[in-house]
Homo-oligomer: A and B are copies of this chain.
């Protein structure tokens, strides 16, 4: 129900969906880290390349049965939990090389929904086959555990953010996080396009849209960033870091 692709039509070679893991420029960021060539081939064979999702298309919804985890190849995905009152809580933004769906393993259904923020292509990794395979390839099991561990770690960092940080600190931290992640993917660390709306950002950071907007303005007035709608330049990264880590405005040694 999530995508209306025809079975058998979801794997297409003409548009280059079939890039093998070993040829994928993300493979140092993704599941295949530290796996040797022969084993990589075996992993490669269980992965399905899907038709790209268009902006707004849903990959899976809340309660959907769990059968696979997904890796983002290009584009970006947001995951969110629709709250009772029709609102939603955004739980994450997923950039190329990052995995989705790990939270669905424990009771075999997705506790959150995933939607494409822009045109996005994905690898689908059937979880039963991945389980079998990682049973045979110790380094794959190790990598899988590492990725899940990192996910736990990242979520806990975010907890600290939401529990203790001011609005300014939160936005600064998000911008730095995105900057770092884009950088690792070979893009500029100091100039990028936000694929998510202000609304999504506010939602993710636990802030009202208006607060986020005001903060963008404020950062811009202080020449820390330069933002035109989605396009963001980071002008003063050290200042952002100072803000994100909660350094107080330095008062001249009183």
Residues of A at the B interface (CB closer than 8 Å) are 81, 83-85, 87, 89, 91-92, 102-107, 111-112, 131, 134-135, 138, 141-142, 144-153, 155-156, 158-160, 162-164, 203-206, 245-246
Contact = CB atoms under 8 A, between A and B. Distances in A.
Contacts of A160: 81, 83, 89, 91
Q: How many monomers of this protein are in the complex?
A: 2
B141 A206 contact: no
A145 to B, nearest CB: 5
Contacts of A107: 150
B135 A131 contact: no
Q: Which of A134, A153, A245 has the most CB of B within 10 A?
A: A153
26 contacts: A83-B160, A83-B246, A84-B246, A89-B159, A89-B163, A92-B156, A102-B152, A103-B149, A103-B152, A103-B156, A104-B149, A105-B145, A105-B146, A105-B148, A106-B153, A131-B138, A131-B145, A134-B141, A141-B141, A145-B148, A148-B149, A148-B152, A155-B156, A158-B159, A159-B159, A164-B206
B155 A159 contact: yes
Q: Is the interface of A mostly helix, strand, loop or mixed?
A: helix
Contacts of A148: 102, 105, 145, 148-149, 152
Given A85-B246, A159-B89, A111 B153 contact: yes
Contacts of A111: 153, 156
Contact of A103 (B112, B138, B147, B153): B153
